[in-house]
Copies of this chain bind each other. A is one copy, B any other.
């Protein structure tokens, strides 16, 4: 009885709060009060409202609520490439945290094209209360400009000196330093570095650490590469040509590509050449040899970005910066270079 005729094919138009009010024999205001719990409602009407809501399958229209509140309960996430497991994990971290706080996640993939990041972020910012920018490749200038236009902007893996943008970032310098130390202790003296995208802040941070680490003890040979496994695969030959005894890749994703190329070439890792990654993605311990890398909790990065986002005020951001220190994890892809003493450095120092 009473169920509005639900034709087989025709879907009933979404019920409004007015429909519910009529059905329950109360005013829309009362329905709203029951649903939001903003003001007490006596038992009788409350029951009738709840029954009507259930019967009609009523769900408040979020657009209308948002219009009234002035907020959207949504957060935008801009990533360079969803195919990259790293960004997929960060997105997962943000999404899960947001879901927990009853927020929706809007996602945009810029396809590693720095030129589209600005538009993507601006667009998402219209639909969401703010935007999380993952490893933006845009210029510092663009970023500052964007920060002025987007109500709540949070960066992942991008720190900016001039503009106080809230950010959570991996301490790439510490990561690179620990890899260099590890390689040095093994006896490597000449290391080929597979460079990431020049526009990536994280790459520039690595370069800085590389400059500090490289010197008399460790010679770093730079090889242009990129951020994907295909890039790593392509750059592997050039790395080999440097006669370095170890290859340090921009990331695990890149390292996996290089590893595949070494395998094709019959170059044994780590016997003939050592290889390191960065990030410790899931698949890095599924390859053979398992990748020596630096471990970063990517979902946690996303979660922290969310926390920053939800702690940020809509007006001038104070710009707290969270730094996450990665940890070296030594696995099978690094070893003493062929024909070298394990710890010559200690011997010399001592």
A binding-site residues for B, Cβ under 8 Å:
8-11, 14, 57, 59-64, 66-67, 72, 74, 81-83, 85, 88-89, 91-92, 95-96, 99, 104-109, 111, 122-124, 126-127, 148-149, 151, 229, 233, 256-257, 259-260, 263, 282-283, 285-288, 290, 314-316
Query: B66 touching A91 by the CB < 8 A rule?
Result: no
Query: B315 touching A288 by the CB < 8 A rule?
Result: no
Query: A288 touching B288 by the CB < 8 A rule?
Result: yes
Query: A151 touching B96 by the CB < 8 A rule?
Result: no
Task: Known A63-B67, A82-B92, A108-B95; judge A283-B263 contact (CB<8 A).
Answer: no
Q: Which residue of B lies closest to A59 (CB)?
A: B126
Q: A180 vs B323: C-alpha distance in the bound complex, in angstroms?
A: 50
Q: A245 vs B159: C-alpha distance in the bound complex, in angstroms?
A: 53
Q: A165 vs B268: C-alpha distance in the bound complex, in angstroms?
A: 51
Query: B109 touching A106 by the CB < 8 A rule?
Result: no
Task: Known A63-B72, A64-B67, A286-B256; judge A109-B127 contact (CB<8 A).
Answer: no
| Contact sample, A vs B, 9 pairs, CB 8 Å cutoff | A61-B126, A63-B67, A63-B72, A83-B88, A104-B106, A104-B123, A233-B286, A256-B283, A260-B286
Query: B104 touching A91 by the CB < 8 A rule?
Result: no
CB of A67 to closest CB in B, whole Å: 5
Taken together, the copies of this chain in the complex come to 2
Task: Known A283-B256, A316-B10; judge A124-B104 contact (CB<8 A).
Answer: yes
Q: A233 vs B107: C-alpha distance in the bound complex, in angstroms?
A: 31
Q: A314 vs B320: C-alpha distance in the bound complex, in angstroms?
A: 45
Partner of A89, one of B83, B124, B126, B288: B83
Query: A315 touching B9 by the CB < 8 A rule?
Result: yes
Partner of A74, one of B85, B127, B151: B127
CB of A210 to closest CB in B, whole Å: 25
On chain B, the residues within 8 Å of A126 by CB distance are 59-62
Q: Which residue of B lies closest to A123 (CB)?
A: B104
Query: A92 touching B96 by the CB < 8 A rule?
Result: no
5 nearest A-B pairs in the assembled complex, by CB-CB distance: A9-B316, A82-B92, A88-B88, A260-B286, A263-B288
CB of A191 to closest CB in B, whole Å: 22
Most buried by B among A60, A66, A229: A66
Query: A282 touching B83 by the CB < 8 A rule?
Result: yes
Q: Which residue of B lies closest to A290 (CB)?
A: B260
Query: A95 touching B109 by the CB < 8 A rule?
Result: yes
Q: A126 vs B105: C-alpha distance in the bound complex, in angstroms?
A: 13
Q: A151 vs B61: C-alpha distance in the bound complex, in angstroms?
A: 14
Query: A83 touching B92 by the CB < 8 A rule?
Result: yes
Q: A88 vs B149: C-alpha distance in the bound complex, in angstroms?
A: 29
Query: A316 touching B8 by the CB < 8 A rule?
Result: yes
Query: B127 touching A104 by the CB < 8 A rule?
Result: yes
Partner of A283, one of B9, B95, B99, B229: B229
Task: Known A88-B88, A109-B92; judge A285-B314 contact (CB<8 A).
Answer: no
Q: Which residue of B lies closest to A261 (CB)?
A: B286
On chain B, the residues within 8 Å of A111 by CB distance are 96
On chain B, the residues within 8 Å of A105 by CB distance are 106-108
Query: A99 touching B106 by the CB < 8 A rule?
Result: no
Q: A208 vs B274: C-alpha distance in the bound complex, in angstroms?
A: 46
